[in-house]
Amino acid sequence: MISKAMQEGINEQIKHEINSAYLYLSMSMYATSSNLPGFSSWLRVQWQEELSHALKLAEIVQDRGGRVVLQPVDKPQADFKSPLELFQQVLSHEQKVTSLINKLYEIAKKEDDYSTQVELQWFIKEQVEEEKNASAIVEQLRLAGESGPSLMMVDRVLAMRAAAH
């Protein structure tokens, strides 16, 4: 049986994961309107991943006899100054999610909830990968600049992620 504190914490994290998905979908739509199809594809894959994270968390609650209660999501940002700013926000957002996962893990430790700790280790590892990928893209965009052939090359590289999924 899952504790009330753990159930509430995971329900809150489900909301954050869905907020993340909603933000990435908004970012994808922005990239499409900015004629950056590779950026858009990369962000759509991210959108799908975040939804799968929310479902994975819901299953943790349900498998332990708890109840998932969905919460309202926030309206995502829709406009960005540049591709660099867009991915700086991706990185910042992933760093925020990392801190939220870490806080959730702290609840699991406090509650002596060993099975949830094991499940959350997957999320902790996932966040290392998310921050690494976002950071690499930010650095590539800093090198590429705001427009021109280098930006288009980054766009093509990002498009390969969607092809791999």
Q: What is the pLDDT of residue 165?
A: 61
Q: What is the pLDDT of residue 86?
A: 97
* Torsion 159-160-161-165 (CA) sign: positive
Q: What contacts 36, CB < 8 A, 6 or more positions away?
A: 83, 155
pLDDT (0 to 100) of residue 147: 79
pLDDT per residue as tens, the chain (165 positions): 999 999 999 999 999 999 999 999 999 999 999 999 999 999 999 999 999 999 999 999 999 999 999 999 999 999 999 999 999 999 999 999 999 999 999 999 999 999 999 999 999 999 999 999 999 999 999 999 877 899 899 999 999 876 666
Q: Has domain 4-164 been given CATH number 1.20.1260.10?
A: yes
